[in-house]
Chains A and B, each alone.
Chain A
Amino acid sequence: MWQGLTLGQYWPGHSFLHRLDPRTKILAVGLLIVALFGTRSLTGYGLVALLLFWSTFLARLPIAKLWRGLRPILILVLVTALINIFTLPGEVWTRMGPLTITREGVEMAILLSLRLVLLVWATTLMTLTTAPLQLTDGLETLFAFLKKVRVPVHEMALMMAIALRFIPTLFEEADRIQKAQMSRGADFESGSLPQRVKALLPLLVPLFVSSFRRAEELALAMEARAYTGGKGRTRYRRLRWTVRDTLSLALVLLVGAGAFALKAVGF
């Protein structure tokens, strides 16, 4: 039951995209999100798609991996598209019984589907080519300025890292508890949905209890290793910003600006 759920989707490698600074990738995704939401032009989206195609090529990922990232959102894309096709008022193309299809509806459906797909494509590329710990490091460094207004940036990054550390452990434990309950006659696999959800209770309660115990012990262990918070800490991982990063970010910026410009001139 828990085997399929491995953590993160990171695909180790040494491609150009892998070697980029995590900050570059986070910022690039941010820029692309702004471009995708700020412009509603098909040509602009085409420009973004072109960039993503190229990046995917550069990342040397197996296409199946990328597809696995995109697959979960397809239903969402389909539903949004259908709702838009049939509900938007405008120039009527055809009627199908009580439903009408309008030109505006079709256009909007295409735009929104593209936006969603491109968005998830970009973030999947980032998570596939960036180790989880690098991602938390990148986020911590990027948002370090928020420490001035007392946002616990270091603590949040540490929380993310600890979560990454313990997710496999908790899955293992869930598996063990499940087997223990099954050996005592618990049935997790048959019955209606509410029944199955209810059957999970004897699994979740011990899992929660043991998680609290783990948390307590981990806190002690951290203290025993002289952890006193983020102040005065040095870092084992150093992020390195290179020309490559500057150029890549400039390119993404250019694409984003291009999308806005295309929209402004009415494409």
Chain B
Amino acid sequence: MARPWLALSSSNPVPFIAVEGLHHSFGDVQALSGLDLTIQHGAFVAIVGGNGSGKSTLARCLNGLLLPQQGSVTVAGLSTSDPAALPEIRRRLGLVFQNPDNQIVAPVVEDDVAFGMENLGVPYETMRERVPWALEVVGLEGMEERAPSTLSGGQKQRLAIAGILAMEPQGIILDEATSMIDPQGRREVLSLIQKLRRERSMTVIWITHHMEEALLADEVVVLHQGTIVAQGKPARVLARPDLERWNLVPPPGVLLARALREEGVVVPEDVVTVEGLVDALCPSN
């Protein structure tokens, strides 16, 4: 039977993630109240918000670790409310947690990379190919037989990412994945994520309370008390004068720009980095 509407829908592609009217509460505490969010394939979205703003709850709702109490979450057309779809949702959308230690399951690096694939029932030969490949992508080649406890924080987070990559996902959520590791590790993870975006056009959802990290994204979503209060280009959102109202500390560039304005210096509105300020104020530089 001919179904002409199929062709129509492919010209109007389904977003990678669609959240509609999402409510989630823990007992009396309303963590998410009526949240709507659409994320397209290949987007790099930063989700920021103060403590208790609902960031982690949202992350867990996105790949079905928490189920919507009201509303719906759809990943690549699959609803998280459908238990049969959960493994596939989790394959397509990986989640890296905050604590590097508590997400590594196996006592040997290569076995941990394989863990997710084993769960999905990936054939032996494929696993043997993908494990070295994933370790190479994250730059942990040669550490196959190490014990995870001997790795640095940044290496552990890259190991977690390798385990997700091996499952061939379309997107990855990083839930404050750099907040417990040192600056060196943070740089490693950030440059890896940018490489994955560049080379594999992976959708990245970067949950953070570091506004400087949020500046790297295509789009920033500000969560406050379980709802989205601001959304848009990082330069726009993070330069807003009312950022503190949502328990956020503006990035250093924005703070500097404000201080300069108070001193009477004319600074363009959309400049949010210190480097940008230098360029704007000293064009000859």
Interface string of A231-245 (1 = CB under 8 A from B): 011111110000000
Nearest CB in chain B to that of A168: its residue? B149
A221: CB under 8 A from chain B? yes
* Bound CA span A131–B146, Å: 12
B123–A220 touching, CB < 8 Å: no
Stretch with Cβ within 8 A of B (4 or more), from A21-29, A87-95, A157-165, A198-206: A157-165
Provide the residues of chain A in CB contact with B110, threshold 8 Å: 236
* Bound CA span A78–B97, Å: 52
Provide the residues of chain A in CB contact with B119, threshold 8 Å: 225-228, 233
A155: CB under 8 A from chain B? no
A222: CB under 8 A from chain B? yes
Provide the residues of chain B in CB contact with A131, threshold 8 Å: 108
A142: CB under 8 A from chain B? no
Interface string of B93-132 (1 = CB under 8 A from A): 0110101011111111011001111111111100110010
User: Residue A237 contacts which of B97, B104, B111 (CB distance < 8 angstroms)?
Assistant: B111
* Bound CA span A221–B102, Å: 8
Provide the residues of chain A in CB contact with B121, threshold 8 Å: 232-234
Main secondary structure of the interface of A (DSSP, over half): helix
User: Residue B90 contacts which of A133, A224, A236 (CB distance < 8 angstroms)?
Assistant: A224
CB distance from A206 to the nearest CB of B (A): 16
Provide the residues of chain B in CB contact with A238, threshold 8 Å: 124
User: Residue B123 contacts which of A165, A168, A228, A234 (CB distance < 8 angstroms)?
Assistant: A234
If A162-B105, A214-B101, A221-B103 touch, does A235 touch B124 (CB 8 Å cutoff)?
Answer: yes
- Interface size in chain B (residues, C-beta < 8 A): 42
B91: CB under 8 A from chain A? yes
* Bound CA span A265–B114, Å: 54
B21: CB under 8 A from chain A? no
B103–A236 touching, CB < 8 Å: no
Interface residues of A in 123-172 (CB under 8 A from B): 131-133, 161-162, 164-165, 168-169, 172
Provide the residues of chain B in CB contact with A7, threshold 8 Å: 147
Interface string of A192-226 (1 = CB under 8 A from B): 00000000000000000000011001101111111
* Bound CA span A10–B174, Å: 36
For B65, B94, B102, B123, the residue with the greatest tally of chain A CB atoms inside 10 Å of its CB is B102
* Bound CA span A221–B148, Å: 15
B107–A169 touching, CB < 8 Å: no
* Bound CA span A220–B147, Å: 21
Provide the residues of chain A in CB contact with B80, threshold 8 Å: none
B131–A226 touching, CB < 8 Å: no
A225–B163 touching, CB < 8 Å: yes
Provide the residues of chain B in CB contact with A218, threshold 8 Å: 102-103, 105
Nearest CB in chain B to that of A131: its residue? B108
Provide the residues of chain A in CB contact with B167, threshold 8 Å: 225-226
* Bound CA span A131–B106, Å: 13
* Bound CA span A164–B86, Å: 29
B239: CB under 8 A from chain A? no
Nearest CB in chain A to that of B113: its residue? A236
* Bound CA span A227–B118, Å: 9
In the A-B complex, the 5 residue pairs with the smallest Cβ-Cβ separation, listed nearest first, are A236-B114, A221-B103, A168-B149, A217-B102, A225-B116
20 contacts between A and B (CB under 8 A): A133-B107, A133-B108, A161-B107, A165-B107, A168-B147, A172-B149, A217-B99, A218-B102, A218-B105, A220-B60, A221-B97, A223-B65, A225-B115, A225-B163, A225-B167, A226-B87, A233-B119, A234-B122, A236-B110, A236-B124
